[in-house]
Structure 1
Amino acid sequence: MTTKKLELATLGGGCFWCIEAILKEIKGVEKIVSGYTGGTVPGTPTYKEVCSGLTGHAEVVQVTFDANIISYKDLLVVFMTSHDPTTLNRQGGDIGTQYRSVIYYHNDSQKQIAEIVTKEMAQYYENPIVTEISEIGVFHSAEAYHQDYYANNTTQGYCSAVITPKLSKLRKMHADKLK
């Protein structure tokens, strides 16, 4: 039996509910925590404060994954194809810096891989990729009701209108990577 090789990835691509729901379906993903990072204000921000756009934080997910099952590079490819990395501070109707496309790296290797993936993915998009690549700072877990949000609220309007179609796209594009 192979020992698990657990690593962390921290990603933001619009509302954290969307990214969490998508990445939960990927083989090798062990745990996902929705939260906030990248801000400039002290203390632990609240959802309301982050939504104001004044804290500088992004809505992100922190993903614990087994690198023996899915590589960081493959995880980033799934991420980059599950949102629009060409729109600055916007994903659909979600507008503001808190919804920016961002990869927060945890080490130099992740930074290099993120740079490679964004360059490789550029050929698939008509517009330039604007995904920010930044070193991880302090990560703050979001409030409990944001965790596992889609699974607990599948019939909620936003979930059925925005997340469910993204999951359908994921299942077509990355069927080989699903649990």
Structure 2
Amino acid sequence: MTLEWAMSLLLNNPETLKKALYELDHNIEPHRLLEDSNLSNLPYIQSIVQKTLRLFPPAPFLFPRVSASECKVDQYDVPSGTIIVANAWAIHRDPKPWSEPHKFMPERFMQLQGLRQGDSNNKFKFIPFGIGRRGCPGDGLAMHTITLALGSVLHCFEWEKIGDEPIDMSEGVQFLLPKAKALEALCKPKSEMLSVMCKI
């Protein structure tokens, strides 16, 4: 699902796609597949994944919690035993911490490398996998896998939109956040990758 959102965003933002391809071309040999060891040299691809997860978190509502005791959240008094649901989708689009929150700007994440490492000013504004002890234990694996998958499909294939219209970015209505209309795009293997892919 995140890969489909990322490709849709890239196809609607050709300058960002060019920057991603430039990073791949300058860090991965043309006749080699992307490997785990290459990911640390691809900060822009990593930022694209983070930006995609910010705009389209896979689970827009985090799992419910129950307040263990009475507390105050912002200006609200929360009684003990209250069920609380965090809306990651709304948090990620809040204009207070995010200037131009609906804009696809992966460069923003290049400047916020401490975002998920506990920087107290930033850690609650990007929570695609939840946060704290009850956050997703597989968030590191998910980020790694999505980055490897996105980098691989960009490195191995040429992509283009079908027609001149922007790709529809409407969201489906489900517990998870799929696209309302599946991505339709043209992709063909890059000529230098054909022989490599035939050996797989």
Fold in common (TM above 0.5): no
| Largest Rg, 1 or 2 | 2
Structure with a larger share of its residues in strand: 1
Q: TM-score, normalised by structure 1?
A: 0.29
